[in-house]
Amino acid sequence: MQRPAGGLDVVLQLRRPKAINALNHSMVLTITEREWAEDDPVHIVVVTGAGR
């Protein structure tokens, strides 16, 4: 996970080339249950894939 300084966005880069960077149920739950700091809000989550 990367968070540009001073930004309201987060970049999640998947590195699962064998699964062609597909999201599975467990990953979605992990992302949606992530506790973001209340004083440091996230407005945008960008999901990208590495490789292939």
More reliable by pLDDT, 26 or 44:
26
**What average pLDDT is seen over the chain?**
78
Q: What 3-state DSSP class applies to 9?
A: strand
Q: What is the pLDDT of residue 28?
A: 84
pLDDT in tens, 12-36: 888 989 999 999 999 888 877 766 5
Assessment of whether the complete model's pTM goes beyond 0.75: no
Closest by Cα among 35, 26, 5, 4 to 14: 26
Q: Are 36 and 45 in contact (CB under 8 A)?
A: no
40: pLDDT confidence band, cut at 50, 70 and 90? low
